[in-house]
């Protein structure tokens, strides 16, 4: 059981970067960006290309992040410049990146067991501790971004583009920043997963958007009453909780072939729970409002 929880925690930390990336589009920009299913393996394939050529893993990870950002920029161009609906723009980017990923290494599967990775470079540090350090660094950087003017305008762009324009700023610029940062972090998550599992596969990006959404929704559901928690913290906790749930389910006998279906069911259940809770809260507020109005009418 302890080994299952440790592996779930490690994978949860890797997927927390995926979740933080999707927070930019799903929670902040309110965009359904499916290009993450192409940029997740893109980060892994770019990393594999450079690691197999002897590059330092830290530098290879940085390049993977930049490659993912380029993928996000492609989606931005399709969405804002070519006026393609965001969900279709993401699908088109994902489709193009599938072929690009195969071109990068020339094969659909690459093993990394004989190459230096982040985990072998710092083999004196336990994997879970090393991953925690990486996640905390990213979290601090993202949280600090939201405290800057650019971060504030990025958030406002998702809520009210007209307000951004009234401030003399171009909302498209911040949409571009959000998409590039989102897919850069997704690619970073893919690069870490490639090193963690020791290989890269063309199909490793399948349903990554559902995994990210499950993490975000779980984090929001468990911690929705705590307003002091940042979006990044919720995403991290949600990703870890999601992986623990999946890990325990497999440990108890869940067929791994059913994993994708179970993930979708988890998302449906949590969304349904949130919708029912929100409906209940609205009814409660409505009844309180009617009661107050009734009391006022009696005393008038």
Ordered by start, the domain boundaries in the chain are 2-254, 258-300
Q: What's the pLDDT tens digit per position in 34-47?
A: 999 999 999 999 99
Contact 190, 43 (CB under 8 A): yes
E-only strand ranges, 26-165: 109-111
pTM comes to: 0.90
Sign of torsion over alpha carbons 204, 207, 211, 212: positive
Here the tokens at position 81 are 């410049």
User: Cα dist. 147→30, 143, 152 in Å?
Assistant: 20, 7, 7
Mark the ranges of the chain whose per-residue pLDDT is less than 70: 1, 223-225, 278-300
User: 2-254: which CATH architecture?
Assistant: Orthogonal Bundle (1.10)
**Quick one: pLDDT at residue 116?**
94
């Amino acid at each position: 059981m302890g080994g299952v929880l440790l592996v779930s925690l490690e994978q949860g930390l890797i997927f927390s970067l995926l979740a933080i990336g999707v927070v930019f589009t799903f929670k902040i920009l309110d965009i359904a960006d499916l290009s993450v299913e192409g940029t997740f393996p893109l980060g892994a394939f770019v990393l594999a290309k450079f690691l197999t050529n002897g590059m330092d893993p830290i530098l290879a990870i940085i390049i993977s992040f930049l490659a993912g950002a380029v993928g996000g920029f492609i989606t931005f161009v399709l969405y804002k410049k070519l006026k393609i609906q965001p969900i279709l723009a993401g699908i088109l980017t994902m489709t193009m990146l599938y072929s690009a990923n195969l071109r990068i290494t020339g094969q659909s599967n690459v093993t990394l067991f004989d190459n230096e990775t982040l985990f072998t470079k710092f083999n004196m540090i336990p994997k879970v501790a090393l991953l925690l350090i990486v996640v905390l660094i990213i979290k601090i950087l993202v949280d600090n971004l939201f405290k800057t003017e650019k971060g504030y305008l990025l958030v406002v762009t998702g809520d009210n583009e007209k307000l951004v324009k009234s401030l003399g700023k171009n909302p498209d610029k911040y949409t571009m920043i959000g998409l590039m940062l989102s897919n850069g972090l997704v690619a970073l998550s893919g690069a870490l997963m490639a090193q963690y599992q020791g290989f890269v596969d063309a199909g490793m990006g399948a349903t990554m958007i559902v995994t990210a959404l499950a993490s975000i929704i779980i984090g929001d559901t468990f911690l929705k009453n705590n307003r002091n928690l940042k979006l990044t913290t919720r995403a991290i906790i949600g990703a870890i909780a999601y992986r623990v749930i999946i890990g325990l389910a497999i440990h108890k006998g869940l067929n791994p072939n059913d994993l994708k279906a179970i993930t979708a069911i988890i998302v449906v259940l949590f969304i349904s729970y949130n919708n029912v809770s929100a409906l209940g809260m609205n009814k409660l507020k409505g009844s309180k409002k009617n009661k107050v109005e009734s009391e006022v009418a009696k005393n008038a």
